[in-house]
């Protein structure tokens, strides 16, 4: 059995920018330091995804897309390192979600027994409603 190789986005394809302020606790320190991270990945230029995967990623990550750039902002932590890690993990999760090929739906037909059950239930409901209305149920 072959092992699935780990999925990693090449560092040279990611563009990182530090922003401020980061939200969360930290007081005045948060107003003076740039520890929020804006990470972007140009999915049009990447070689690690097929064209079909890129298209699925565009649909899946629509709120994060700016043209061909997948842009993730992370400012939930006081730590720059933690924010960098979270941003990379979010991009990686989005990319991984776009990789599997969606399954093709195979149309099926109802079985003879299920058709008979449905028709029997319809007859029962019809009879109940006819009795409620005061009409003859055999009409």
For the stretch 27-59, pLDDT in tens is 666 666 778 889 999 998 988 888 999 999 999
Closest among 85, 90, 88, 8 to 49, alpha carbons compared: 8
Domain ranges, residue 121 = 108-139
Q: Does residue 4 lie within any of the structural domains?
A: no
Q: How many domains is the chain partitioned into structurally?
A: 2
Residue 136 and residue 85 in one domain = no
Residue 136 and residue 72 in one domain = no
Q: Does residue 57 lie within any of the structural domains?
A: yes
pTM: 0.64
Residue range 86-133, pLDDT digits in tens: 999 999 999 888 888 888 889 999 999 999 999 999 999 999 999 998
Residue 120 and residue 92 in one domain = no
Residue 80 and residue 19 in one domain = yes
């Amino acid at each position: 059995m072959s092992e699935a190789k780990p999925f990693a986005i090449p560092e040279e394809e990611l563009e990182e920018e530090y922003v401020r302020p980061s939200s969360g606790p930290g007081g005045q320190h948060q107003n003076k330091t740039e520890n929020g991270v804006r990470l972007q990945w140009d999915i049009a230029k990447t070689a690690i995804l097929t064209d079909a995967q890129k298209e699925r990623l565009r649909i899946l990550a629509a709120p994060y897309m700016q043209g061909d750039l997948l842009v993730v902002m992370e400012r939930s932590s006081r730590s720059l390192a933690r924010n960098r890690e979270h941003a990379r993990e979010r991009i990686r999760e989005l990319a991984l979600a776009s990789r599997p090929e969606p399954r093709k739906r195979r149309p099926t037909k109802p079985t003879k027994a299920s058709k008979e059950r449905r028709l029997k239930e319809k007859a029962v409901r019809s009879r109940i409603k006819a009795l409620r209305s005061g009409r003859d149920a055999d009409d």
